[in-house]
A and B are shown apart, each in its own frame.
Chain A
Amino acid sequence: EIVLTQSPATLSLSPGEGATLSCRASQSVGTYLAWYQQKPGQAPRLLIYDASNRATGIPARISGSGSGTDFTLTISSLEPEDFAVYYCQQRTNWPLTFGGGTEVEIK
């Protein structure tokens, strides 16, 4: 099973600041990594797939990068609606696995 480790667990930032979230895989997943956003009481939403491709309707301030075992989700300038929990997910091997999540909270 591929283990995904996300860091930091919590990121405390102010609106307008940039955010950098990390996801590290226990073995190479190529570029088969996705990012999801989840707000309290809501279902997750797909943001990024295959490491760097934005899903439909995702704004350009949100971007993904990386390959192999190290991946980054970057939010260039935080909007109020960006404060949420973010999960990475690999789709290279079964079982599909998610990281433990990074919460981006308002400072």
Chain B
Amino acid sequence: EVQLLESGGGLVQPGGSLRLSCAASGFTFSSYAMSWVRQAPGKGLEWVSTISAGGGTTHYADSVKGRFTISRDTSKNTLNLQMSSLRVEDTAVYYCARAQSSVWTLFDSWGQGTLVTVSS
């Protein structure tokens, strides 16, 4: 069974940093592209970032480009999102999502999410 477990969320001040992690199990982590998708309170879904299976290619939403960095550690089956220069509008539940097989851009399994609150 595919399991994705996010951690690292919490309260941070504007301008601060936070590192999210997603522990993956139940599948061959190194074979799948992975993504982060976020959802502001009471709002819709927003794609944040995607990393290829091998880790060599990344994509970012314009809203986070230059501030967030996605990475993966295959030895630990972990996906990471380093967030810096955080803004109030980054407040959201952050979901880790697995790509569907070889299709980077489709999300077939999701974690339960971790809440990031940016506030002074």
Which residues from chain A sit less than 8 Å from chain B, CB to CB?
A: 1, 32, 34, 36, 38, 42-46, 49, 55-56, 87, 89, 91, 94-101
Q: How many residues of B contact A (CB 8 A)?
A: 20
Given A94-B59, A95-B62, residue A46 in contact with residue B46 (CB < 8 A) = no
Distance of A44 Cα from B50 Cα, bound (Å):
17
Tell me which of B19-27, B83-91, B103-111 binds A. B103-111
The 7 A-B residue pairs with the shortest CB-CB distance in the complex, in nearest-first order: A91-B105, A43-B110, A96-B47, A98-B45, A101-B44, A46-B108, A100-B44
Decide: B59 and A36 in contact? CB cutoff 8 A: no
CA distance A105 to B44 in the complex (A): 16
Whether A45 lies near B110 (C-beta < 8 A) is yes
**In terms of DSSP, what is the predominant structure of the interface of chain B?**
strand
B-side residues, CB < 8 A to A, are 37, 44-47, 50, 59, 61-62, 95, 100, 103, 105-108, 110-113
A42 to chain B, nearest CB (A): 8
Known contacts A94-B59, A95-B59, A46 near B47 by CB under 8 Å:
no
Q: Do residues B45 and A36 form an inter-chain contact, with CB atoms below 8 A?
A: yes
- Given known A-B contacts A43-B110, A96-B105, A87 and B62 have beta carbons under 8 A apart: no
Query: Given the complex, which residues of A lie within 8 Å of B62, measured CB to CB?
Result: 1, 95
User: Across the interface, which residues of B come within 8 angstroms of A56, CB to CB?
Assistant: 108
B59: which A residues are within 8 A, CB to CB?
A: 94-95
In the docked arrangement, what's the CA distance between A45 and B103, Å?
16
Q: A49 is contacted by which of B37, B61, B95, B100 (Cβ under 8 Å)?
A: B100
Q: Which residues of B contact A97 (CB under 8 A)?
A: 47
A45 proximity list for chain B (CB < 8 A): 110
> What is the chain A residue whose CB lies nearest that of B104?
A91
Q: With a CB–CB cut-off of 8 A, which chain A residues contact B113?
A: 43
A43-B113, A49-B100, A96-B50 as given contacts; A87 in contact with B108, CB under 8 Å:
no
Residues of A within 8 A of B100 (CB): 46, 49
B110 partner residues in chain A, CB cutoff 8 A: 43-45
User: How long is the Cα–Cα vector from A49 to B108 in the complex, in angstroms?
Assistant: 10
